[in-house]
Copies of this chain bind each other. A is one copy, B any other.
Amino acid sequence: MKLATYKDGTRDGQLVVVSRDLSTAHYATGIATRMQQALDDWGFIAPQLQDLYETLNNGKARHAFPFDPALCMAPLPRAYQRLTGTAYASHANLLGDADGALAVHQSPSDTLQGAHEHVVCANENSGVDFSAEIAVITDDVPMGASANAALEEVRLVMLSNAIALRQVAAAVQSQPVASFSPVAVTLDELGDAWADGTVHLTVQVTWNGRKVGMCDAGTDMTYPFGKLLAHACKTRALRAGTLLSSGCISNAGFEKNGQTEWPKGYSCIAEKRAMETARDGKATTDYMKFADTVRIEAKGKDGQSVFGAIDQELAPLHA
């Protein structure tokens, strides 16, 4: 099924069930009002949401309304935990900031943004970068769970745009906010595209209307979600509603005529700059500026948008 959270003036919004084709939606009132409530008691609540989802897809939900992604908060508008992994070793290799080793770090989660909300920034000259990522939300994961056991606890999948300020040194300041696709989807919605803890879909990244990335999130995922979760839960349990992002989706380059090529493009500007440096000795592409837009989307085999599109603009703090 597909779930979203509609703005209602509160910090947690209203849980809605969205039809498979993203055309209609229905409030989940009577089942659960907030996404965290569903996650806290998934085994009991999810089947009821699934029933509503099926009724909605059959066109038989009596209070259905047209779904508008612009009215969405993040599917989970604030989380008790967000973790970010370094799932794609080719990203770390390209940026030269790590040896491509498995790592997971704690990320802020007090505000998770909706797909169409502006990214607000005080200073456009801080190396503002987007980063297209896959994010999952888990149920409770016990301390010491294996990769396979932890993977069993994944409940929902989303797209994410994690903003990075590449010219800000302090970690607590350099990753200010992340935004999420309009809907979060259960694993069965992905079908074959969910395999071995990896999402096998092409994630399209469009920057100021120009398609810059068409990376496959599956092929080069060095550390699938099971491995990332097992690493994070080694010394403690992870509680229901834990959000884990993959880190920047990246496909490895390959040699052709003595030069490295990256035909799939890039999911963050830092990678583009690293590619330029590798090829031409210096980076020529600048980071985002105010009014720049970024759009992130993934389509299924049927050509339909799976999660809806993240589509946002960079805006100054005091506009």
Interface of A with B (CB < 8 Å)?
11, 40, 78-81, 83, 103-111, 120-122, 126, 143-144, 165, 168, 170-174, 176-177, 231-232, 234-242, 317
Contact = CB atoms under 8 A, between A and B. Distances in A.
Contacts of A232: 172-173
Given A106-B171, A122-B234, A172-B231, 8 more contacts: A80-B80, A81-B110, A103-B170, A106-B106, A106-B172, A126-B235, A165-B235, A177-B236
Judged by DSSP, the binding face of A is loop
A172 B232 CA distance: 6
A121 B144 CA distance: 10
Nearest to A104: B172
A172 B144 CA distance: 13
A168 B81 contact: no
A235 B316 CA distance: 12
Among A109, A110, A174, A241: residue with most chain B CB under 10 A: A110
Can you list the 9 inter-chain pairs with the closest CB atoms, starting with the nearest?
A176-B236, A110-B239, A81-B110, A106-B106, A80-B110, A176-B235, A173-B235, A78-B80, A104-B172
A40 B235 CA distance: 31
B239 A11 contact: yes
Contacts of A107: 106
Contacts of A176: 235-236
Given A106-B108, A143-B317, A317-B143, A235 B79 contact: no
A174 B81 CA distance: 16
A290 B81 CA distance: 28
A262 to B, nearest CB: 29
Given A40-B11, A110-B81, A317-B143, A231 B105 contact: no
11 contacts: A79-B80, A80-B109, A80-B110, A104-B172, A105-B172, A110-B238, A110-B241, A165-B235, A170-B234, A173-B234, A177-B236
A242 B172 contact: no
A242 B111 CA distance: 11
Nearest to A232: B172
Contacts of A78: 80, 239
A138 B78 CA distance: 16
A163 to B, nearest CB: 9
A121 B234 CA distance: 10
Contacts of A171: 105-106
Contacts of A144: 122, 317
A121 B235 contact: yes
Given A80-B110, A106-B107, A172-B83, A122 B235 contact: yes
A242 B11 CA distance: 14
A40 B174 CA distance: 26
Nearest to A243: B110
B109 A81 contact: yes
A110 B81 CA distance: 6
A122 B143 contact: yes
A168 B110 contact: no
A105 B144 CA distance: 24
